[in-house]
Amino acid sequence: MKLVIAVVQHTDVDEILDGLTEAGIGVTQINSAGGFLREPNVTLFIGVDDADVSRAIQIVDDNSKARRMFVNPL
């Protein structure tokens, strides 16, 4: 049994949870205040068998999106 910890943006969490649940993978969600660049994030604790680690990571990756943000230095 392995524990995968994923920190994701709050806008991606519903799709990730749906994907993990459909795959029969257990997950616990912890919301965070603040976050990088003042964007809220969510920490997911994903418990999987050794053989399913790469599958769980792939589900998180498939349901997450990269974003660009421009920050005013002032």
pTM here is: 0.83
Q: Note down pLDDT in tens along the chain; length 74 residues.
A: 999 999 998 899 999 999 999 999 999 999 876 666 677 889 999 999 999 999 999 999 999 988 787 777 77
* DSSP 8-state code for residue 53: H
For 10, 15, 36, 56, the CA distances from 32, given in Å and listed in that order, are 9, 18, 10, 21
Contacts 24+ apart (CB under 8 A), 31-34: 32/7
Token representation of residue 21: 């649940």
* Nearest Cα to Cα of residue 25 among 8, 51, 43, 7: 51
